[in-house]
Amino acid sequence: MKFYKGLLLFLLINFSALAIGSWLMNNGPQTEWYTNLNQAPWSPPGWVFGIAWSSIMVLFSVYMTFLVQLNRSKKVIVLFSIQFVLNIIWNYLFFNQHLITLGLLNILLLTVLMFYFLVAFKHYLKNNRFFVLPYCIWLVLATSLNLYIALYN
């Protein structure tokens, strides 16, 4: 039962991050500014983002539940908090403020942090660390999309 309480807590926190980020982007993907940008040819359709982020947050919640049960260090909570802020703030920087380069820096930091989660806690989590892998892979794609926009606009 302890696992499910932790999972519920992380689901609540992670989906709150998605909700706050969506609110801060101020309808960004549908704005004239965004639709007029030169976008990467490999950009997925808009509906993919919602499905991807929802799936990623479920898997990341499982990952964090396992990690916190095995390692309740302050370091884990601080890193999770940094991830939370970086995840939210990208929406504001990129879509709301149109700060493409600062958004790129933000998403690069988030990507590095998530790969750190994948590698740094492998001795605690063993194969359960792979619950964070979809997040890492998605961030590589998202970073490439942001980079393309930064280079070609």
pLDDT at 127: 96
Report how far residue 153's alpha carbon sits from residue 138's, in angstroms, rounded to the nearest whole number.
Answer: 22
Provide the 3-class DSSP secondary structure of residue 53.
helix
Per-residue pLDDT of 9-53, as tens digits, reads 999 999 999 999 999 998 889 999 999 999 999 999 999 999 999
Report how far residue 92's alpha carbon sits from residue 99's, in angstroms, rounded to the nearest whole number.
Answer: 9
Query: Is the pTM of the predicted complex or chain greater than 0.85?
Result: yes
Q: How confident is the model at residue 54 (pLDDT cuts 50, 70, 90)?
A: very high
- Host domain of residue 94: 2-152
- Sign of the dihedral through C-alpha 57, 29, 22, 148: positive
For residue 129, pLDDT beyond 80: yes
For residue 1, pLDDT beyond 80: no
The chain-wide mean pLDDT, for the chain, equals 96
For residue 58, pLDDT beyond 90: yes
Helix-helix angle 74-91:100-120, to 10 degrees: 150
How many domains is the chain partitioned into structurally?
A: 1
Report how far residue 74's alpha carbon sits from residue 91's, in angstroms, rounded to the nearest whole number.
Answer: 27
Q: Answer for the pair 83, 110: CB distance below 8 angstroms, yes or no.
A: yes
For position 100, which CATH number holds? 1.20.1260.100
For residue 69, pLDDT beyond 80: yes
Per-residue pLDDT of 19-28, as tens digits, reads 999 999 988 8
Per-residue pLDDT of 87-117, as tens digits, reads 999 999 999 999 999 999 999 999 999 999 9
Give the ranges where the chain is alpha helix by DSSP (H): 2-24, 32-35, 46-70, 74-91, 100-120, 122-125, 133-152
Q: Answer for the pair 141, 76: CB distance below 8 angstroms, yes or no.
A: no
